[in-house]
Amino acid sequence: MTASQTKIIFTATFLLLFFLTSFGWATDISALVSKRVSQDGKTLDLSGLNIGASGAKQLAKMDLLAGITALHLQGNNIRARGMKALAKSPHLAGLKHIDLWGNLIGDLGLKAISESPYLQQLETIKLWKNEISDDSIELMVVSGNFTHLKILMLNDNLITPAGGAMLASTSLFPQLLTLNLFRNDIGDGGALAFASSKNFSSLELLYLGENKITDQGAVTLIESQYFPRLKVLDLAMNPLGEATMMAAFKVNNKGKLQIVYR
C-alpha cells in the first residue's frame, strides 16, 4: 500500500467517525476510552475526539469512570444532551476537575451540572465557548454544588451585566482562586458589582478582558479593597482611557498586584 493510499484511508476513517458522532449515531467508544486513561486511573483525556452526545451517553455508563478525578472533554460536541447524561452518572461522584471547552452545552448543560447530585466535589470547571447566558448563571449561583470550586473558566460566553452581578453576589464560591470571564459582556455594571463584593477574599486571578468595561468600572475595580489576595487583574481589550492607566500605574508600582489594561 502506498503512502497516498494510506493517507486516503486514514482521512476517510476520520471523516466517517466525525459524520457518525455529529449526527448522533452510536459508535462504540469503549476501546477508545480504555486507551485514554492515565496509568494511575485518575485522569481520562478524550480531548478533540468529537464523541458527540451519543459518546457522552456511553461514557456516563462506564464503571471505569468511578476512579476518575479529572475528565478532559474539550472539543467533543457533546452539547446539552451529552452533559445531561454525564450529570446523571453516579460514577462521577469523585470528579474534581472537568474541562468542557467548546462543547456547546448551553444553559441546559450548565443547569444539569448545577443540579447534579454527583458533581458536588468539583474544584475546576472549564466552560469556554459553551453559549452560556445569564439564565444558567442564575441557577449556578444558588446551587450547592460549587463550594469546593477553585477554578472557574467562563470565558467566551454570553454573560451580561446582570449575569456578572449575580456571580459577584454569591457567597457559594468561598475557595475560588481563579475566575475567568474574558470576552463576555458584563460591562461596568458587572465590574462595579465585583468591586463592591465581599465574597472573593481568596481570589488570586481575575480575568475581565474584552467585556465593554470603561474607566468607571475599571478604576473602581482597581481601587477596591475587597480582593486581599488578588495577584492579577486583567482588564485588557476594554475601551479604557487615561483614568484607568493612572490608577493601574499606581498599583503596579507597588508590586503586590499586577493590573493588565492594554
The domain 3-260 having CATH identifier 1.10.4190.10: the answer here is: no
Query: Has this prediction a pTM greater than 0.85?
Result: yes
For 162, phi then psi, to 5°, come to -65, -45
User: Do the Cβ atoms of 105 and 77 come closer than 8 Å?
Assistant: no
Cell numbers for 16, please give them: 466517517
Question: Which residue, 90, 89, 27, is CA-closest to 54?
Answer: 27
What is the pLDDT, as a whole number, of residue 27? 85
Walk along the chain (262 residues) in steps of 10 and give the mean pLDDT of each run: 55 51 65 95 97 98 96 98 98 98 98 98 98 97 96 98 98 97 98 98 98 98 97 98 97 93 92
Integer CA distances (angstroms), 58 to 28, 66, 112, 252, in order:
8, 14, 17, 50
Integer CA distances (angstroms), 217 to 43, 89, 159, 241, in order:
40, 42, 16, 12
